[in-house]
Amino acid sequence: MRIYKVFRTAEWRELDEAGETQGAPVDLKDGFIHFSTKDQLGGTLAKHFPGEHGLTLAAVETGSLGDDLRWEEARDGAQFPHLYRALKRDEVVWHTELPRDGVDTLTLGDE
């Protein structure tokens, strides 16, 4: 299954250049990297990135994350994927800049 992480420009650049990241400030505060499923992405963008542009969406296969990935209750009681370690650049199977009109116009491919 694929899960998704939204990065601001500087956050993506850090992962791309350093080869790994502990995540955004909210991830560092919470102690894990927040991900979303395909169905959760719209709500994540609306809640945490309203009106922002220049965002990068990265896809990661859950199987590559091992036991450090946990599914935990979050927004509206839904189970969200949380990674309890650094995300490595080579774990990202693809990435793309999010279009200004949102994730609904993207084809996310197979999960």
Residue-wise pLDDT for 1-13, tens only, equals 999 999 999 999 9
Say if residue 108's pLDDT is above 80: no
Quote the tokens at residue 24: 């955004």
CATH architecture of 2-101: Alpha-Beta Barrel (3.20)
Return the higher-pLDDT residue of 83 and 109: 83
Quote the tokens at residue 106: 């993207």
64 pLDDT tier (thresholds 50, 70, 90):
very high
The residue type of 108 is L
Q: What integer pLDDT is reported at residue 51 of this predicted model?
A: 87
**SS3 label, residue 41:** helix
User: For the residues 91-99, what does the mean pLDDT come to?
Assistant: 93
Give the integer Cα–Cα distance in Å for 33 and 60: 12
User: For the residues 78-102, what does the mean pLDDT come to?
Assistant: 92
Quote the tokens at residue 44: 């994540």
Domain ranges of the chain: 2-101
Residue-wise pLDDT for 39-50, tens only, equals 999 899 999 999
Give the integer Cα–Cα distance in Å for 24 and 21: 8
CB distance 71 to 81 below 8 Å: yes
